[in-house]
C-alpha cells in the first residue's frame, strides 16, 4: 500500500472514531460513563487527525487560499480550530453537566464533525 493511501486511510478511520463516538455518546440516556471513555478516544484521534492532515496536505502541496480549494481548506481548518476550542471547554465542563446537557454537548460535537467531514469529502474530490 502506498504511504499516501495509508495516511488517507488512517485519517478517514480517525474521523470515524470521532464522529461515531460523538453520535453514540449523544444518543445514550446516561452519557456520563461513555463520555469519559470517548474523551480519551477523542483527543488521541484528534492528534492522529492533525498529524495525518498535515501529511495529506504535504502530499497535495500548497493550494493557496485564493483558489476555491484553498478557501474550502481554510474553512475546514477554521472549523477544526473551533472544534478543538469547543471540545476543550466541553472536557472542562463535562463533570458538572447533567445528562441532557451532555447529550447536547456531544450532539454539537457530532454536528460540527459532520460539517468538517462534508468539507473533507468535497476537498478530496475537488
Cβ count near 57 (within 10 Å): 14
Q: Which domain holds residue 34?
A: 3-124
Give 123's contacts (C-beta < 8 A, 6+ positions apart): 69, 72, 73, 76
Digit-coded pLDDT (tens) for 17-52 = 999 999 999 999 999 999 999 999 999 999 999 999
Q: What pTM was computed for the model?
A: 0.92
Chain centre to alpha carbon of residue 58: 19
Mean pLDDT by 10 residues, the chain (126 residues): 87 96 97 96 97 83 78 93 97 96 97 97 86
Nearest in space to 31 (alpha carbons), one of 84, 115, 108? 108
Amino acid at each position: 500500500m502506498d504511504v499516501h493511501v495509508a495516511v488517507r486511510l488512517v485519517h478517514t478511520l480517525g474521523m470515524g472514531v470521532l464522529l461515531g463516538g460523538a453520535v453514540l455518546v449523544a444518543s445514550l440516556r446516561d452519557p456520563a460513563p461513555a463520555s469519559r471513555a470517548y474523551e480519551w478516544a477523542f483527543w488521541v484521534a484528534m492528534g492522529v487527525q492533525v498529524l495525518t492532515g498535515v501529511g495529506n496536505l504535504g502530499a497535495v502541496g500548497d493550494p493557496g487560499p485564493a483558489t476555491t480549494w484553498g478557501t474550502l481548506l481554510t474553512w475546514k481548518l477554521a472549523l477544526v480550530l473551533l472544534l478543538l476550542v469547543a471540545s476543550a471547554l466541553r472536557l472542562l465542563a463535562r463533570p458538572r453537566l447533567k445528562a441532557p446537557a451532555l447529550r447536547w454537548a456531544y450532539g454539537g460535537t457530532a454536528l460540527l464533525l459532520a460539517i468538517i467531514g462534508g468539507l473533507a469529502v468535497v476537498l478530496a474530490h475537488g
